[in-house]
Amino acid sequence: MDDLMAGATSNREAIALIQNLSETLDARGFHLRKWRSISQDVLNNLSENLGANESNVEIHPGNCSKTLGLIWDSSTDSFVFKINFNFESEITKRSFLSQSARLFDPLGFLSPCTILIKIFYQQLWLLKLDWDNTLPEHFAIKWHKFQREFQQICHISIPRWLQFTEKEITLHGFSDASESAYAFVIYAVQRNVNGVTEVTILAAKSKVAPLKPVSIPRFRVKWSSTVTQTIFCLN
């Protein structure tokens, strides 16, 4: 089962896109079953054209759904994040890795949070524990503190629509490094119709510093190059 995300600048364009896409895929035996849109007019059109013919077609009003691994709230047209760590009374290396992998963040919006998990796991790995050994007490206390802080992630939402216009858009990339980690973030900057400057996060990425000592200036040069390459791809 695959998902497809697409956009349009108007309801008419979206409806035409749906019709063309459906006809193209139907001709190859691929029948689209689930639809979701922020526009009620588009959903109504789907109901009129598909609802009577396809009893197993699902047309959803505004609510949350997973799209390409991300949770999309179509009522607000934004990406939201939900996390629920379910550990038993004793945390092992195996259960920690399994539970922490639930935090899926392909675009790096949560990099300030996910990098803490990566650093924690690197420190845990240095202990050379067996997979089912219980974490030392000071590690368990530290992780429980992380858990409480991570609950704030549920209050974060990122607009899906970047609100790009035909006017000039500039991309700004920032990178930095430390002894523990290195990261970068890229923002899109533009002026809206009222002349107000709007800044939108596009992507971010973080990595744990390797155990082999590397100078911080070398890290900074490396990630400056990575930022440049990423901006080139986004262009």
For 170, the token pair is 């500039």
Most confident of 26-30, 80-84, 190-194, 204-208: 204-208
What b/e sequence results for 7-40 when a residue is b if at least 16 CB atoms lie within 10 Å of its CB, and e otherwise?
A: eeeeeeebbeebeeebeeeeeeeeeeeebbbbbe
* Chain centroid to CA 168: 26
pLDDT of 140 reads: 86
Please give the structure tokens belonging to residue 90: 């004793």
- Would you say residue 108 has pLDDT above 80? yes
Q: Which of 159, 154, 130 is nearest to 38 (CA)?
A: 159
Number of Cβ within 10 Å of residue 183's Cβ equals 19
Whole-number pLDDT of residue 159: 85
Any idea what DSSP says for residue 92?
A: B
Residues above pLDDT 90, as percent of the chain: 9
pLDDT, tens digit (0-9, with 9 covering 90-100), for 155-181: 888 888 877 665 788 899 998 888 889
Res. 145: pLDDT tops 90:
no
Q: How far apart are CA 95 and CA 134, in angstroms?
A: 10
Residue 168 CA to residue 232 CA, distance in Å, equals 16
State the pLDDT at residue 165.
65
Q: Please state which of the four CATH numbers 3.90.1570, 1.25.10, 2.60.40, 1.10.10 is assigned to the domain occupying 162-234.
A: 2.60.40
| 7: DSSP letter | -
pLDDT over 60 (residue 60): no
Averaged confidence pLDDT in the chain? 81
- What residues does CATH 2.60.40 cover in the chain? 162-234
pLDDT at 56 over 50: no
The pLDDT confidence band at residue 206, using thresholds 50, 70 and 90, is very high
What average pLDDT does range 93-108 have in this prediction? Answer: 84
Closest by CA to 201, choosing from 235, 176, 166, 174, is: 174
pLDDT reading at 107 higher than 90: no
Q: How many whole angstroms separate alpha carbon 131 and alpha carbon 95?
A: 8
Mean pLDDT in residue range 135-149: 85
Record the pTM.
0.75
> Which pLDDT does position 62 carry in this prediction?
55
pLDDT score at 208 = 92
